[in-house]
Amino acid sequence: MGLESRKAARAAFCYHPPAARRATGSPPKQPLHSSDDRLRIWLLPLSILTGACLTVFVLTYWADASSHPDPGRVLDLIIRPNPEAAANTLANAGEIVAAVLAIALTVVAIIVELASNRYTHRVTELFVGEPVNFAVMGLFVVTALQGMWVTLTFDPSASGGGFVPYVGIGVSMALLTTCLLILLPYFSYVFSYLNPIRIVQRIYRHTLAGIERGAHERSGRRGTTVEQRQAEAVRGVEQLADVAANAMHNRDKGVSMAAVDALGDLLRDYQEVRERLPDAWFVVGGELAHNPDFVSMDAEVLADVSADRVWFEMKVLRQYQMVYAEALNRMRDVACLVAIDTRRLGEAAAAREQQELLGLTMKFFNTYVRFAINAKDVRTAYNIFHQYRMLASHLLERGDSAHAVEIASYFKYYGLLAYQAHLPFVLETVAYDLCTLTELAHERQLPATDRFLRILLRVDRESEGAVQEASLRGVRKAQVKAATGLLLRGDEARARRVFADMADEDPGRLASIRDELSSISSPEYWEIIDRGQNLDYLSGERKEMLDRFFSWFPNLPTRRSSQLGWLPTSAAEPGPDSLVAIPAISADESSEP
């Protein structure tokens, strides 16, 4: 697959707003129980059990009736049974139904409680409120009562003037049969209902439905209804976050990621509803102001949140922050998914020109980076910067240079912070991301190109002299890569700025950087990494510009045939001859993803 094909494939994973998804024919969200699920859970086992029971009864009854002198009389017993036998059967039927109901309640209560303790207490509330459970339990109760009252009305008088409720007997037997037949399908339904992924979907749908009801209940004043809707929305968000956190503790990565995605879907669908919500919805007050995520905030901050109308987004992002902190150094895929959903929210905010929400997502990205650095989780920081850079690239493509430059300045700040925390690879990653942003701005001929280039060239300036700059080779490589891109597009003046920044470098070090960049022949990294690309790779055209760039430096040593003899230079698996002496890896370098 070529480089352009890979870019196109990656673009397929970019976020598209809901309207765009509908325009491209993307399928809508699927219902919790499709027709196939209902067939598998209810109809198929019920049909099998009913067919088996009828087959056994008909065959045995036919065998007995065929040997009787009066088969017609025997067959008539099905419609008009013996009163004494019917009374005894119905008397026992009440006990059977009560015993089966007790067993069903015990099993269901244990299963529901286990699921509630494992994921969220909302499971019990959702299960009890499900109409199917009420219908099944109600059927058992009605059957027991029907059998009891029909038995009470028997009057099989010997004189022939008694009363036998044949219709009541038939209905009671039909209900009893139905109760016993649906027991196994009902257990199958319970297990399906308590599937953790479906629990997440139900919480998401209930929360969104509550918000949508608030949109239909518009009012010009703040009332109890709005506060109830706010409380319901907050409860749903917190429960989804609880599912994500509890699933991580139980090593259920799929469930945790499903809960994180549900929060992201809730945020994106909320954007479709928020314009129809009453003004009172956006005010942080009453019980909402005493929520743990808002109670510690200063009154002025809460006033700003209300004025910006972003309390719900902040609530969800605060839950993301909690899940993200739990995932650091434990379940990095979940942390990366939090960053992906946050980036998608920022892109959606930019598309709707919601500047307050865009600024909020940038603040949380900065918080994610800070948490990763403090936890010394290099791989997560690597992925977070990747998503943050994708957000900046999206803003540049929309012509929003101001926010993109602001993000670039944060890159520099946190890169240097990571460097001071002895995480040099994070600074190198930042340098390459700044190189990408600089090239994108230059391709689009944006005036902000000079500001990006200035930030890129200063990303290692404050560290000079603090430690040996030999560990900053990756930063210089990124700067050289940016220079090759500028030369490739005919901008020698800006490339000369990179040259001027490196003019005092040691010639031997510059030569080694040149040789290392020249030796990389594959755009794909030779290990499994999340970005999937080799940051040091230069195309053939860029390598020509590389030689031109380094020709400006006097007294450079001649090119060596293989400066990195111990590293593979292509995507193919290196053979024994290509691996010579592998140098020792320092503690800082071993933290690279």
pLDDT given at position 214? 75
The pLDDT-based confidence of 10 (bands split at 50, 70, 90) is very low
Name residue 580's amino acid: V
Average pLDDT of span 272-287: 87
Among 16-25, 103-112, 246-255, 320-329, which is the least confidently predicted range? 16-25
Locate all alpha helices (DSSP H) within 32-70, ordered by sequence: 35-38, 44-66
pLDDT in tens, 413-462: 999 999 888 888 899 899 999 999 999 999 999 999 999 999 999 987 65
Per-residue three-class SS string for 193-237: HCCHHHHHHHHHHHHHHHHHHHHHCCCCCCCHHHHHHHHHHHHHH
Whole-angstrom Cα distance, residue 319 to residue 339?
13
What pLDDT was estimated at residue 327? 92
The arithmetic mean of pLDDT across residues 489-495, rounded, is: 92
Residue 260, C-beta contacts closer than 8 angstroms, at least 6 positions apart: 244, 320, 323, 334, 337, 338, 341
Q: Per-residue pLDDT for 336 more than 70?
A: yes
pLDDT at 12 exceeding the cut of 50:
no
Tell me the pLDDT band of 558, cut-offs 50, 70 and 90: confident
Give the pTM.
Answer: 0.76
Partners of 383 in beta bridges: none
* Lowest-confidence pick of 87-101, 273-287, 401-415, 425-439: 87-101
User: pLDDT category, 38, cuts 50, 70, 90?
Assistant: low
Whether the predicted pLDDT of 334 surpasses 90: yes
pLDDT tens digits for range 374-400: 999 999 999 999 999 999 999 999 999
Q: Tokens 């992924």 identify what position? A: 197
